Amino acid sequence: MNVIAASAPGKVVLTGEYAVLDRAPAIAMAVNRRARVRAEPGAGRLTCTGAVTDGDTRLFDSVMGNVDRPIAAGAGFWLDTSDFLAAGSTHKLGIGSSAALTVALAGAAAFIAGEPRVDDSDLAFTAHAAFQNGKGSGVDVATSTAGGLVEYRRPERRIRRLAWPEGLHFALIWTGVSTSTDSMLGKLHLDNVDLSHLAAAAEEAARAWRSADAHGVVAATGDYMSALADFDQGHELGITGGGHELLLEESLSRTVAYKPCGAGGGDIGVVLGADRGDVDRFVARAVELGFSRLDARMDPNGLAVSGTRR
């Protein structure tokens, strides 16, 4: 083999988190913070930089354990997740670093194994599920694979690309607090949880996204956030903690919708509005409160793999 390069974008969940576990649709957006993998002939070296550090081989081992033939011993791998750290720090941003790296690594591994499956995400889904001990919905893997704006449903792993609504503006807010998706999901015991109200709100939000009506999306996102806050309060998950509560309160007096992007408790939030000025003013207020705007935009591209085999 010659040098193989692969990359995949991170993601933010716009609506449908938690509800997606009950077959409801999740809407997620790929962002242009990418995990990168380089593989080259070598004696099984593994170098990691960024959110995944040297010595942590769990994700790498999970992917390699699901490849049809052994390839790790004959190649050196470099894994870079630097894009998933907050500027000038070691704090993870919470935009799907493990899923993006899994997708990129699975793409590179399948290519080396002689089974390029750029459009087939089975390897990435399987490896990431094993890495998470069966937790999670797979929406992050789906979004990193497809890129752009995605509607996703489980358990069939149905992925539908959507067009971004004309006139809809957004910004991503970094709370400054890193959280663990696994720890958040670990608080939720699905056997004793009624997700029907949240799932209904997720269905309504997905319809708004499919309609591509900016005002409808803002309203439906606000409604979904209300249902998510009720769900949070009922199960004491802390979704709106980590600074999100301040931003949610600030959004109530404005013509924008704000919500956490994922498991909550910190990490990233999104503000959506049908007027760019409204979004910019909200961001300015968030900065005054001590938060930061994340420099990221939608990435229309998903998994990318390049290289040649000998």
Can you give the pLDDT at residue 310? 55
Which of 1-5, 195-199, 242-246 is the least confident region? Answer: 1-5
Can you give the pLDDT at residue 99? 95
Residues 6+ apart with CB under 8 A from 262: 12, 13, 17, 94, 96, 181, 268
* CATH annotation of 169-293: 3.30.70.890
Can you give the pLDDT at residue 116? 52
Look at 303 and 180; give whichever has higher pLDDT: 303
Report in angstroms the alpha-carbon separations of 179 from 95, 167, 184, 285.
Answer: 11, 32, 8, 23
> Cα(75)–Cα(43) distance, rounded to whole angstroms?
6
Residue 289: CB atoms within 10 A of its CB come to 12
pLDDT score of 115 more than 70: no
pLDDT score of 276 more than 80: yes
Can you give the pLDDT at residue 42? 73
Beta bridge partners of 51: none
Across the range 292-310, mean pLDDT stands at 90
How many Cα atoms occupy the beta-carbon half-sphere of 44 within 13 Å?
7
Domain 4-164 has CATH 3.20.20.140: no
Look at 14 and 242; give whichever has higher pLDDT: 14
Amino acid at 291: F
Closest CA to 139 of 131, 148, 150, 123: 150
Closest CA to 26 of 190, 165, 221, 239: 221
Q: What dihedral do alpha carbons 105, 107, 110, 111 form, nearest 10°?
A: -110
> Cα(288)–Cα(201) distance, rounded to whole angstroms?
32
**Tokens describing residue 221:** 């996102």
pLDDT grade, residue 275 (50/70/90)?
very high
- Give the chain's mean pLDDT: 90
Burial of 106 (0-12, 13-18, 19+ CB in 10 A): buried
In the chain, DSSP assigns E strands to 4-15, 26-41, 46-50, 75-81, 149-153, 158-162, 169-174, 257-260, 268-273, 292-293, 304-307
Are 106 and 123 a contacting pair, CB within 8 Å? yes
Across the range 212-220, mean pLDDT stands at 97
Judging by DSSP bridges, how do beta strands 75-81 and 46-50 pair with one another?
parallel
pLDDT tens for 138-194 read 999 999 999 999 999 999 999 999 999 999 999 999 999 987 666 555 566 666 778
Domain map (residue ranges) of the chain: 4-164, 169-293
> Cα(26)–Cα(292) distance, rounded to whole angstroms?
25
Can you give the pLDDT at residue 67? 81
pLDDT score of 55 more than 90: no
Give percent of the chain above pLDDT 70.
91
Can you give the pLDDT at residue 119? 42
Can you give the pLDDT at residue 70? 73
pLDDT score of 120 more than 60: no
